[in-house]
């Protein structure tokens, strides 16, 4: 059973999300401020956070940044259409995705299922053999879900790991932002490709010595992204 934390200061939003998610069998937890959400993630076994942006005491962006200091739990922002700039900022601090209010139940369920599935795969460790991808100094072990760069461990979020695995599986192949989004998020892009650029930048910051002059994760202008390096 997955534990899902809903954090929003509006009771009607929380209740609506509970109606959508309860039939899925999730264990639901509730917080009304970013500070409460932060403490619940720190203390409890939370597998996914639905986090409002505008809240009292501590806003969702600040809470997400603090959560990212110790956890790679998936974070999905709950946002109004007027909060586009806040969404970009939230993705920059480490959130994985966002859902725009008013919610479409099918979209909510699809996003939650997708991120929980990805998080579950990333968190499933096994000692039965190895399944490694290597490119230059990067080693991705798909059995233990770990990544090292020049023998140093690198902590990736589930989205970052999925992007890196896809690109390393097909070195030299150029993926458009739309293709990357649909392959990693496993849903139609519908204009959400901008999230890809944010996660690519985070990934570069973790695997490149100089992200502005990347050795591995290259942009092909007007086309997309690819991985390069010695096999």
Considering the domain architecture, whether residues 9 and 43 belong to the same structural domain is answered as yes
CA–CA gap between residue 208 and residue 223 (Å, rounded): 21
pLDDT in tens, 152-182: 999 898 899 999 999 999 899 999 999 999 8
- Residues 46 and 69 sit within 8 Å (Cβ to Cβ): no
Q: How far is CA 203 from CA 46, 148, 169, 219, 227, in A?
A: 24, 13, 16, 13, 12
Lowest mean pLDDT among 143-152, 192-201, 205-214: 192-201
Which of the listed residues 123, 152, 179 is the one where a domain comes to its end?
Answer: 123
Which of the listed residues 123, 150, 166 is the one where a domain comes to its end?
Answer: 123
The sign one gets for the Cα dihedral 167, 170, 171, 173 is negative
Considering the domain architecture, whether residues 15 and 65 belong to the same structural domain is answered as yes
Considering the domain architecture, whether residues 96 and 113 belong to the same structural domain is answered as yes
Backbone phi, then psi, for 48, in 5-degree steps?
A: -160, 145
In the beta sheet, which residues pair with residue 17? none
pLDDT in tens, 65-85: 999 888 889 999 998 866 677
The enclosing domain of 138 has a CATH number of 1.10.10.10
- Residues 45 and 39 sit within 8 Å (Cβ to Cβ): no
**Whole-model pTM?**
0.69
The whole-number pLDDT of residue 123 equals 56
The whole-number pLDDT of residue 24 equals 93
Considering the domain architecture, whether residues 164 and 190 belong to the same structural domain is answered as yes
The whole-number pLDDT of residue 44 equals 77
Considering the domain architecture, whether residues 53 and 74 belong to the same structural domain is answered as yes
Considering the domain architecture, whether residues 14 and 106 belong to the same structural domain is answered as yes
Considering the domain architecture, whether residues 101 and 162 belong to the same structural domain is answered as no
Considering the domain architecture, whether residues 18 and 82 belong to the same structural domain is answered as yes
Considering the domain architecture, whether residues 91 and 145 belong to the same structural domain is answered as no
Considering the domain architecture, whether residues 155 and 218 belong to the same structural domain is answered as yes
Residue 27 in tokens: 């264990």
The sign one gets for the Cα dihedral 115, 119, 120, 126 is positive
The enclosing domain of 111 has a CATH number of 3.40.50.2300
* Residue linked to tokens 């480490």: 94
Considering the domain architecture, whether residues 151 and 39 belong to the same structural domain is answered as no
Structural domain boundaries, residue 102: 3-123
Tally Cβ neighbours within 10 Å of residue 31. 24
Number of structural domains found in the chain: 2
- Residues 150 and 120 sit within 8 Å (Cβ to Cβ): no
pLDDT in tens, 20-64: 999 999 999 999 999 999 999 998 789 999 999 988 889 999 999
Considering the domain architecture, whether residues 173 and 216 belong to the same structural domain is answered as yes
pLDDT in tens, 198-230: 999 999 999 999 999 999 999 999 899 999 986
Return the higher-pLDDT residue of 188 and 106.
106
Backbone phi, then psi, for 138, in 5-degree steps?
A: -95, 130
DSSP annotation of 26 reads P
Which of the listed residues 65, 89, 123 is the one where a domain comes to its end?
Answer: 123
Average pLDDT over every residue of 11-22: 94
């Amino acid at each position: 059973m997955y534990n899902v934390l809903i954090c929003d200061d509006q009771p009607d939003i929380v209740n609506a999300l509970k109606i959508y998610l309860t039939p899925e069998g999730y264990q639901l937890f509730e917080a009304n401020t970013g500070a409460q959400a932060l403490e619940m993630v720190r203390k409890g076994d939370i597998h996914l956070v639905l986090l409002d942006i505008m809240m009292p005491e501590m806003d969702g962006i600040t809470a997400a940044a603090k959560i990212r200091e110790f956890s790679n739990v998936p974070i999905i922002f709950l946002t109004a259409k007027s909060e586009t700039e806040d969404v970009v900022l939230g993705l920059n601090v480490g959130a994985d995705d966002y859902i725009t209010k008013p919610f479409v139940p099918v979209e909510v369920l699809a996003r939650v299922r997708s991120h929980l599935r990805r998080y579950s795969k990333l968190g499933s460790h096994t000692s039965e053999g190895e399944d490694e991808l290597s490119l230059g100094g990067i080693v991705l072990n798909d059995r233990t879900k770990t990544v090292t760069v020049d023998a140093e461990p690198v902590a990736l979020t589930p989205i970052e790991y999925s992007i890196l695995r896809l690109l390393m599986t097909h070195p030299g192949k150029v993926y458009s932002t739309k293709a990357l989004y649909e392959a990693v998020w496993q849903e139609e892009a519908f204009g959400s490709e901008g999230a890809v650029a944010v996660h690519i930048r985070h990934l570069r910051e973790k695997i490149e010595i100089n992200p502005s002059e990347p050795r591995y994760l290259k942009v092909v202008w007007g086309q997309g992204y690819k991985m390069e390096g010695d096999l």
